[in-house]
Structure 1
Amino acid sequence: IIAISGTVLAGIVIFFFLEKIIIWRHCHNAECEVHGTAGPLILIGDAFHNFVDGFVIAAAFLTSVPLGIAASLAVIAHEIPQEVGDFAILLDNGYSKRRALALNLLSSLTTLPGAVIAYFFLGATREVVPFILALSAASFIYIAIADLVPSLHRKAGLKPAICQLCLILAGIGTIAVFRLVH
């Protein structure tokens, strides 16, 4: 368990470092030449991201079917808004709706080869499955601590606080239900 916890912590540090590299090279000026090149970067990054999602889904299914289903639902839940955002970025970069949709779909399809490769690779080397899942957990934890929690603190007041608390409890409840079913 120490090795798995260490993998989660190392993953959080790695994701922090990767984000710092991306932000360091990111331009915040509206007239920056970097903005015109975001389309291809989004597509390449999303294709890699979806490939890794396939790897995580396969690792989860190799551990247990209920965990695989939970991982698949988690991936779907985070992919839908991400793909909509990617589509908007592609449109903003001058892609037609048809081309943006087709390229976005193509980059999404990399989940399948990721899952197939992982199924055969991880099937033969089952001892690395917990570490793959730990890195996946680290990515979700990093997103929560870097993006979600700070954005929750931007809305003050009793009503937003109650709504946020209910959503956090709903997330915990969902995990508890999957745990009971498992």
Structure 2
Amino acid sequence: MLATTIAGVLSITAAAVFSFALLSKMVDRMVSLSVGILLSTSLLHALPEAFESKADTHSLFAALLGGLLAFFLLEKFAILRHSHHYEGDGHHHEHGHDAHEAGKAGWMILVGDGLHNFTDGILIAAAFLADPKLGLVTALAIIAHEIPQEIGDFIVLLNAGFTRARAYAYNLICSAMSIVGGIVGYVMLERGMQWIPYVLVFASSGFIYIAVSDLMPQMQRRVSVRETIPQILLIALGVGIVLLLTGSRHAH
């Protein structure tokens, strides 16, 4: 529990400091960085980890399809209705309209983040039960891979109209899911390990849905070469950050 708590608080605080200090003034431009981080975290890290398990491949793809459709329906039925517009994006609404419309944008990513943190908690518990030293190394590796993901989350939440304090508070609450996952992993380890690949796939489906259906269309509205080149570079930077900070975890 101590390891999962420290891992969650440290990664979120580090991501918040980086995001608020360097990125908050360019939230609209940083959407591109968020796309790179979310897609690479899902496609290069979480999904490969799930498919490398002993879980049935067809079942994992079914879970991915189900997750994508579930997030679509959540948005469709206005349960998590949202828009990623930001003030001054060229849409002619009264002042404050875009921020209001985007107010629930972060809920979708918080759901996926909570599931991901839950899985991390299970992984940390499993590692500690196998070997305390392995548990510490796993916790450190999770901190490393959480930082780029949390940066992406903060960017989306800020773009959705969340205040800095609210974005930090909700991400901190989501990090508590790692503690819940740690308890579940400790008490019901075998059953918990069995479901890890499916939880990873479902969480990834949320990140992919947000990036592809919401963030990338927003980027497509800026079509000039002068605006497109920074978008491409920032996507590449997001991918590079994930590859750099998650490399150590794959080694274990």
How far apart in 2 are the matches of 1:24 and 1:119?
28
Aligned length: 158
In 2, are the aligned partners of 1:12 and 1:142 still within 8 Å (CA)? yes
Matched, 1:76 2:150: yes
Deviation at 1:67, TM superposition (A): 6.1
In 2, are the aligned partners of 1:59 and 1:133 still within 8 Å (CA)? no
In 1, are the aligned partners of 2:117 and 2:178 still within 8 Å (CA)? yes
How far apart in 2 are the matches of 1:116 and 1:139?
21
Change (3 A) 1:107 1:152: closer
If each structure's helix is expressed as a fraction of its own residues, which one has the higher value?
A: 1
Q: Which residue of 175, 180, 200 maps to 1:117?
A: 180
Partner of 2:213: 146
Deviation at 1:73, TM superposition (A): 1.6
Change (3 A) 1:67 1:53: same
Amino acid corresponding to residue 193 of structure 2 in structure 1 = R
How far apart in 2 are the matches of 1:164 and 1:156?
10
Amino acid corresponding to residue 68 of structure 1 in structure 2 = I
Change (3 A) 1:51 1:152: closer
In 2, are the aligned partners of 1:53 and 1:75 still within 8 Å (CA)? no
How far apart in 2 are the matches of 1:169 and 1:105?
26
Change (3 A) 1:55 1:165: same
> What's the C-alpha RMSD, in Å, of the aligned pairs?
3.8
Q: Which residue of 57, 62, 65 maps to 1:9?
A: 65
Unaligned runs of 5+ in 2: 1-56, 83-92, 95-99, 128-136
The structure showing larger relative contact order (alpha-carbon pairs under 8 Å, at least 6 residues apart) is 2
Deviation at 1:172, TM superposition (A): 2.7
Matched, 1:55 2:131: no
In 1, are the aligned partners of 2:80 and 2:105 still within 8 Å (CA)? no
Change (3 A) 1:4 1:158: same
TM-score using structure 1 length: 0.65
Instruction: Report the secondary structure of 2:183's partner residue.
Output: helix
